[in-house]
């Protein structure tokens, strides 16, 4: 395990420290989050955590939680989530995020909106002075509307590509939708773009997550940094 991977693991373990017995926990999707899930499973086996229920953001995370023995539940039984642990593709000084690189943006946003607290795990490369500087914006679209929504995104100034699997087939989300990756460059007005995307009937969800993160645990080669909502955060890369 290289140094940065070890730091990601340490950041994930730090995030799990927020989990207490009796909580309902939202589970994100992605490689770094795997460390958090493994840590939770270990603490459950050791009885250092008890009576935990988890809601997964993807079939992938659901399968992993089952394999590790982390009990799963649904919104039918628990309407509110105490804490969600997730990742992000890009994050700005106000802790706004671009998410969706793993394709689970719809369920991840549902989990975060239902959560009392959201803890995000990232490595230092995900920190950005302005969203869109380093990452494209994932936009989940129903197949029927793919051409018209691609045209719409281009009209907003984005360069757009359909997400493709390694075998050359179009990527499909858990909801069997498609993803358009829209590169805007640095986004000057996040709220305006959010409103425009929210108004489009063919767009199921998009990767702008504004004002949702409570805490961000950043892993860098030199250590761990904890960023907090409502605090002036230095996002210099570790």
Question: Quick one: what percent of the chain has pLDDT higher than 70?
Answer: 96
CATH numeric code, 3-125+210-228 = 3.40.50.1360
In this prediction the pTM is 0.93
Q: Annotated catalytic, 108?
A: yes
Domain ranges of the chain: 3-125+210-228, 137-205
Task: Encode 125-134: b = buried (16+ Cβ within 10 Å), e = exposed.
Answer: ebbbeebbee
| Mean local confidence (pLDDT), 165-174 | 97
Run of H or E including 183: strand 178-183
In CATH terms, the fold of domain 137-205 is: Alpha-Beta Plaits (3.30.70)
| Residue 235 pLDDT | 58
Q: What is the pLDDT of residue 110?
A: 98
pLDDT digits over 69-79, tens only?
999 999 999 99
pLDDT for 238: 47
| Residue of 17, 38, 60, 108 marked catalytic | 108
The predicted pLDDT at position 237 comes to: 47
User: What mean pLDDT, rounded, does the chain reach?
Assistant: 94
Please give the structure tokens belonging to residue 231.
């605090």
């Amino acid at each position: 395990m290289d140094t940065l991977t070890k730091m990601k693991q340490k950041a994930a373990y730090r995030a799990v420290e927020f989990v207490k017995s009796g909580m309902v926990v939202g589970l994100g999707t992605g490689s770094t989050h795997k460390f958090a899930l493994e840590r939770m499973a270990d603490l459950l086996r050791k009885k250092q955590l008890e009576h935990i229920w988890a809601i997964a953001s993807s079939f992938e995370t659901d399968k992993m939680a089952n394999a590790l023995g982390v009990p799963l539940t649904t919104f039918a039984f628990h309407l509110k989530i105490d804490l969600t642990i997730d990742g992000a593709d890009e994050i700005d000084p106000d802790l706004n995020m671009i998410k969706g690189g793993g394709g689970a943006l719809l369920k991840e946003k549902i989990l975060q909106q239902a959560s009392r607290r959201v803890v995000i795990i990232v490595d230092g490369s995900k920190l950005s002075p302005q969203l869109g500087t380093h990452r494209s914006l994932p936009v989940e679209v129903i197949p029927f509307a793919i051409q018209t929504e691609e045209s719409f995104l281009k009209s907003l100034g984005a360069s757009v590509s359909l997400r493709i699997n390694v075998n050359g087939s179009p990527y499909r989300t858990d909801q069997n939708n498609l993803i358009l990756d829209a590169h805007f460059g640095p986004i000057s007005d996040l709220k305006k773009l959010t409103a425009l995307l929210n108004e489009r009937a063919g767009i199921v969800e998009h990767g702008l997550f504004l004002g949702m993160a409570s805490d961000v645990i950043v892993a860098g080669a030199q250590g761990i940094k904890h960023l907090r909502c409502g605090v002036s955060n230095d996002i210099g890369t570790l």
